[in-house]
Structure 1
Amino acid sequence: MLKRELNERITRTDAGTPMGEVFRRYWIPALLSEELPEPNCPPIRVRLLGEDLVAFRDSNGQVGLLDAYCPHRGAHLFWGRNEECGLRCVYHGWKFDVTGQCVDMPNEPPESNFKHKVKTVAYPCWEAGGMVWTYMGSADAQPPHPDYEWLRAPETHRFVSKTFEDCNYLQALEGGIDTSHSSFAHNNNLQDKKALRSRATAPKLEVHKRDHGFTYVGIRDLGQDGVYVRAYQFVMPAQQMRGYMTNWSTGEPEEHPSVNGHIWVPVDDEHCVVYNWMYSADPDHPLPRDYCIEHETLFGRGPSNSLPGYRLIRNKSNDYLIDREVQRTKTFTGIKGINTQDFALQETMRPIVDRSKERLGAADAAIIVARQLLLEATNDVEAGKSPRGVHPESHREVRGCDQILPRGVAWQEGLSNEMLARF
């Protein structure tokens, strides 16, 4: 269990809250690059950490992320004209560049210098890995750009997507780092008793704190066949890395071995956006796009599974289209899509889980340590220190992986090469 006041401390992310200030010390994804496909395209609404913002791509291709409300009279800049290196408010014509500086005030006298005195809130942006990243903290604490391996993978080897989730970021994140639930919630073939996660439903967990966050492994004893080890990385403040190198059902190598993961970004206290990424585990082998779409569809978030706004067709309003007959005869949940199964469980826990009522066991070791690190980060930021994982050298070489190892081989030895970045 987590005391109520500590639960509040790590779930609330608006400006001025302890966890909100932690997120504002990192570069975080704000949107996908595809959402602003070309210079001078229409602006889009963005909500991050409880703040209403507007993003636009100017005539030079640079992305701006501004306070959604014009500092003149509060009109929403989503209605603005994106033109000639600036976003122009349609109420009175005030125009702002990507730095937030007002560059034109056509309703003021020509001799006025008032525009030079007006600047709206603007957050710096940086594009990498098919995403637009932003930093929302104080300028004097701004860290270097992140250097995750998947950001260095070329576009031919990488795929990214996003999904909107109707719950607090932390319960979504905790679902991602909970390895034992995959034997149950994601058991999509009740008849397949040979699947790796059906053969050993209670993995032994090891969690080791690192500069980037922590490394954790789930070790499943397969008897004479060895041990199935899945090694994850949790990168502060809200990223998971895992490997898909071994087929869950057959134990054979995957056709396209990859490293996958998520970043959970708070929209506000009761909603989040999940950025999903995957890249080839081998620099010599691109990741075919049709394979990526197939993977996304399996998870329930492919193009055919999604609504505008990156929301899932199967959602809380229609009970995720659960099929009770399928649940009785074929799959554990009766819900189609691995991602959708997670959402059904996480979104209906309540918008923010009351962790003071929980009863945690050995299977929850990674979740316990994640909470420890998040609380540590709030204390560090309040003390004026840099939180764990904020600097690129802490995370640039890590990756997740999974593999069947011979009995008696320590995972640290057996996975030593697979857990190091290759791009």
Structure 2
Amino acid sequence: MTIKSDKLEGQKSSGGAAATVKKLVPYGGYYVNKVPGHDPELTETGPGTPMGEYMRAFWHPVCMSIELTDTPRFLKILNEELVAFRDGSGRVGLLHAHCAHRGASLEYGAIQERGIMCCYHGMVFDVDGACLHVPFPQGEEKEAEKYACSIRQGAYKAVERHGLVFAYMGPPENEPPFPEWEGDYTVMPGDELVAYSNFQHCNWLQVQDNAADNFHPTALHAAKNVVKGQFQGTTFDEVGAASMEVAPDMHFQPVQQGRSLACAGARRVNKDRLFVRVQHQVLPNLSLHAYTSEDGSNKKLFSRFHIIRWTVPVDDENSKMIGWRVMGPGIDTRGVGKKELVGYESIDFLDGQVAMRRPERFGDYSIEDIVPIPANHRERANYKQAQYAPGDYEAIISQRPIAVHSLENPTRFDAGVFLFRKMLRDALRGSNPAASAQHFAEWFRENAGAPNSFCSGNVFEIPEGATVEEEVVRRRKVTKQIVAILAESETLKGEARAAFVRERFEALEQSMKP
């Protein structure tokens, strides 16, 4: 590779500054010490912003069901201050935090049999925002009724699924079907969806970018890179899946009319077996992941979901990773998962995935016992431990509160990250009508709210190529064929689709043998 003395960056900052020239010289920090603005089109999600309005057209998880106790739960989602609660009748409400009467926060309200009562003056609001009670003096009941009909608390529709609370925050007349991917998700008998929620002290997009970054395990999760053997739970070595440390040969393919991205990565387990993991990134913020602890020791075709996760903006500098881990013998064939460690601010397979680390995040605690992690991650007591063995959390949040895209210098293996960003822009700008909120909703309806996912984990008995060149061709052919087969199966559902895919995968395996 030839390195030139000057490099034209060719990207403009959000402030409209002209393209700048980077001087690549020794000790040249002075020439690159100006930090341009972030990319507002993709990163900002408040009301009225392009990404904020697009995201509001989809259902998102906003909290875990266990967060709804006998007191209201204050939340910030998409830059809006909200209060979630479950009233005495069992209904879930998600209301604007500030009372429509005089602005006191409903986080200090009293949950009623029906609705919630503001602490300040006793106004009671139903889960749909209707004012149920106004405490006017005796004899002024008609005036109270008239006043109640004149106000309405901001409210969003909320539903519960498998320990998560989901909300639709867009125009009520445009509400899309709830996305039950593959019919309430694909979980084998004996397996279950276990909810979790992890706070991230940075913009939502760099968290989502990480899901499409299939190369980072090679460095970040490799035991050989952990300082002084300070294992922290992020390394795949500890669960015996050393194959995840092999740099994958990647194929990134927009699928489902550009509504999602298939990320197929081929890793050589040994001379006889090839591990191919297909992750599925769906606009705007959903990612579906195959088994993370795969060691490749046994043949496996079309293994399904292991992680289903949304990256939900809190505000422009904070976000949540919230979703489900699939637990049980059907997916976790090696039995290394720990259900008791999956939950609020906790996940079992990557200690560095979240802000809390051992021993702080383990043991018996309630939601109220959680001590907030300082926004400045360097203030944490376990900061040095994180330096010895950083995890996804450290790598992601250290990109700045909002990553500056114009300062990035991508390589070929970053293709998935940049392709997904392009797909987001195409959706926002109308360049891909199929990915618009309206057509997305229509697509969900056409699929009865249960579209297929390309997510799969596969171990093929495919021998290594005789030469490096032959091996590269072999790996790339396999990844492309896998995505093509999954695309062919789109018209099928359930077991019929699974049988079709496995039959075609078997044929692909046989075609690659001498």
TMscore range, shorter length: 0.7 to 0.9
Aligned to 1:329: none
Deviation at 1:411, TM superposition (A): 4.0
Q: How many angstroms apart in 1 are the aligned matches of 2:456 and 2:159?
A: 28
Q: Does 1:334 align with 2:402?
A: no
1:225 deviation in Å?
2.7
Displacement of 1:277 in angstroms is 1.5
Q: Does 1:110 align with 2:178?
A: no
Aligned partners of 1:43 and 1:55 also within 8 Å: yes
Q: Deviations over 1:129-175 (max 9, x none)?
A: 32111111112221111112484448951111001110000011111
Q: Confirm whether residue 186 of structure 1 aligns to residue 248 of structure 2.
A: no
Q: TM-score, normalised by structure 1?
A: 0.83
- Aligned mates of 2:318, 2:142 — CA distance in 1: 47
Q: Which residue of 2 aligns with 1:354?
A: 404
Post-superposition offset of 1:207: 2.5
1:242 aligned partner: 289
For 2:195 and 2:358, the matched residues in 1 are separated by 13
Which of 244, 247, 264 is the equivalent residue of 1:201? 247
- Taking the TM superposition and a 5 Å limit, the aligned residue runs for 1:267-278 are 267-278=314-325
Report the Cα distance in structure 1 between the residues aligned to 2:82 and 2:109, rounded to whole angstroms. Answer: 13
Determine the structure 2 residue equivalent to 1:231: 278
Is 1:167 paired with 2:202? Answer: yes
Number of matched pairs: 405
Structure 1 residue 343 and structure 2 residue 393: aligned?
yes
Give 2:265's match in structure 1, choosing from 189, 199, 218: 218
Equivalent residue number for residue 167 of structure 2: 134
Distance 1:133-1:303 versus aligned 2 partners, 3 A rule: farther
Is the contact made by 2:288 and 2:305 (CA closer than 8 Å) also made in structure 1? no
Aligned equivalent of 2:99: 70
User: 1:138 is aligned with what amino acid?
Assistant: P
Q: Aligned residue for 2:421?
A: 371
Counterparts of 1:26-175 in structure 2, within 5 Å, are 26-37=58-69, 41-107=70-136, 109-112=140-143, 113-149=146-182, 151-152=184-185, 153=187, 157-175=192-210
SS in 1 for 2:415: helix
Given that 1:230 and 1:401 are in contact with CA atoms closer than 8 Å, whether structure 2 keeps it comes out as yes
User: How far did residue 342 of structure 1 move?
Assistant: 0.8
1: CA distance between counterparts of 2:377 and 2:190? 31
Paired amino acid for 2:151: V
Question: Secondary structure of the residue that 1:375 maps to in structure 2?
Answer: helix
Could you report, residue by residue, the CA deviation over 1:87-114 in whole angstroms, capped at 9, with x for unpaired residues? 1111111110001111111135222121
After TM superposition, the structure 1 stretch with the greater mean CA deviation from structure 2, 134-143 or 272-281, is 272-281
| Preserved contact between residue 231 and residue 402 of structure 1 (Cα < 8 Å) | yes
- Given candidates 9, 12, 16, the residue that maps to 2:41 is 9
1:242/1:400 contact within 8 Å kept: yes
Q: In the superposition, relative to structure 1, how do residues 382 and 189 fare at CA in structure 2: closer, same or farther (>3 Å)?
A: closer
Once residues 320 and 397 of structure 2 are traced to their aligned partners in structure 1, the CA distance between those partners, rounded to angstroms, is 12
Instruction: Give the whole-Å Cα distance in 2 for the aligned partners of 1:3 and 1:207.
Output: 27
Cα distance in 1 for partners of 2:304, 2:456 equals 9
Distance 2:384 2:314 in 1: 27
Task: Assess if the C-alpha contact under 8 Å between 1:245 and 1:253 holds in 2.
Answer: no
Computing the radius of gyration over CA atoms, which structure comes out larger, 1 or 2? 2
User: Is 239-248 or 379-388 further displaced after alignment?
Assistant: 379-388
CA contact (8 A) 1:69 1:77 kept: yes
1:398 to 446, 453, 466: 453
Q: Distance in 2 between matches of 1:303 and 1:36?
A: 26
State yes or no: 1:177 paired with 2:212. Answer: yes
Unaligned runs of 5+ in 2: 1-8, 15-37, 230-236, 362-366, 464-473, 499-514
Question: SS at 2:254's partner residue?
Answer: strand
Structure 1 residue 276: deviation in Å? Answer: 3.6
**2:505 equivalent in structure 1:** none
Name the counterpart of 1:297: 348
SS at match of 1:225: coil
SS at match of 2:312: strand
Counterpart of 2:306 in 1: which secondary structure?
strand
Name the residue aligned to 1:410: 478
Structure number with greater CO (CA < 8 Å, separation at least 6) is 1
Asked if 2 retains the 8 angstrom alpha-carbon contact of 1:157 and 1:285, the reply is: no
CA deviation profile, 1:9-47 (whole Å, cap 9, x unmatched): 01000000000001100011111111115xxx2111011
With structure 2 as the length reference, what TM-score do the two structures score? Answer: 0.69
Partner Cα separation in structure 2 for residue 93 and residue 289 of structure 1:
51
* Equivalent position SS for 2:428: helix
